[in-house]
Amino acid sequence: MKEVYAILWEDGRRSSSNESDDRSRLDEPAAQKSGRTHLEFDTLDEAAAVDIERAPQVRVISPVMETLLIAPVSAAAATVGVGQWGIDATGAARSRFTGKGVIAAVLDTGIERSHACFAGMNIREKDFTGAGDGDENGHGTHCAGIFFGRSVAGTRYGVAPGVETALIGKVLGQDGRGTTQSIFEGLNWAIDQRANIISMSLNIDFPGQVARLVKNGLPAELATSRALDDYRRTFRMFEAIISKAGVGEEFENISLVVAATGNESRRDVDRDFRIAGGAVAAASDLSVAAVKNGSPKLGIASFSNSRPDLVAPGVGISSAWIGNSFRSLDGTSMACPHVAGIGALWLESMRKSGDYTTRTTLKSNLIAHARRDVLASGLEPVDVGSGLVTAP
């Protein structure tokens, strides 16, 4: 059985037997810009994939898997003028920094660039799904609004409204589904385009991979084993591509990758029913879980997956929606762009203070300034990591 494989090569690219027919490869200029690795895709049987993996210049090879957005747990229409409480909770409303000079990136379902929340911005879109630019789902627009949305009718929606340039990689379709090929390409593109903060609220569809292999004739046990190996290889590919973000740090070419942990936990059923964050979150620089507004302190969202680095507001979050409208959503997908936005504020702060700024020092600042005193008592580090992300 032949499958599509992602291949990350060190120092250049190989010669391919189907070079002229390979429409999936990234363009040469983008590959040359990174200087150290080249990402390409090829259709191979298992024997050919094993042979390629043995090549000394191959860093990682992984089969393409299906992906899906981290779907919101609940949704409701929101009225213009309804405040976004996460801006206050994280301290962004009190910060003198806005993310000015920071290049933001969102890899999701695209964006409705004509929305009032993005007025006057330099938005650069790139579609990796074949469906074309724009957002027919709404999830990507909502996440972008939380990250860097402008004020509308006097109400602020974005954590980092001073961001002027945004890279929008459409890696999921209208139904919220895609493949790791689209995400690998989108992530590679965002890093090569020198995005400073990259936000991703998506995950790998492991059950779907098992079902697909069973449908192709494999027994359930073998399909599960094969899917686990695919998952492991995919995790390694995410790590390898994200490691490119450290190249050129001496020139402050920082690309910090932030990802949502997921919404599969069910603490409302059993307090110990906690699902660990997925592969995308685990491979990223910072993984993010969701907290809910509470009296007097913030509590962990019942659905929020565990083992995050940080937590951020993720329940009842109002932001932009398609049709130039607004919607309130619950999910770690909403918490993730809060951390991305606070990361933009910290990066601006560090640059203005003259601090030596790298991906590592930026991450360290976000971790070091996280707060635990605003969280409800009894919450464990496995649920909240270092605490609530906090603005400079």
Burial class (CB in 10 A: 0-12, 13-18, 19+), 275: middle
Q: Which residues, in sequence order, are CB contacts of 387 under 8 Å at separation 6+?
A: 310, 311, 370, 371, 372, 374, 375
Contact between 110 and 135 under an 8 Å Cβ cutoff? The reply is yes
β-bridge pairing 286-292 and 256-260: parallel
Which residues does 275 contact at the CB level (< 8 Å), separation at least 6?
262, 264, 265, 305, 306
Q: What are phi and psi of 174, to 5 degrees?
A: -60, -35
Cis omega (within 30 of 0) for bond into 207: no
Ramachandran quadrant class, 390 (left: phi over 0; alpha: psi -120 to 50; beta: rest): beta
Q: Is 27 exposed, middle or buried (0-12, 13-18, 19+ CB in 10 A)?
A: exposed
Q: Exposed, middle or buried: residue 6 (CB in 10 Å: 0-12, 13-18, 19+)?
A: buried
Catalytic annotation, residues: 108, 139, 333
> Across the strands, what pairs with 152?
155
Provide the 3-class DSSP secondary structure of residue 47. Answer: helix
Are 319 and 334 within 8 A, CB to CB? yes
Residues 140 and 200: their CA atoms lie apart, in Å, by 9
At residue 148, the 3 state secondary structure works out as: helix
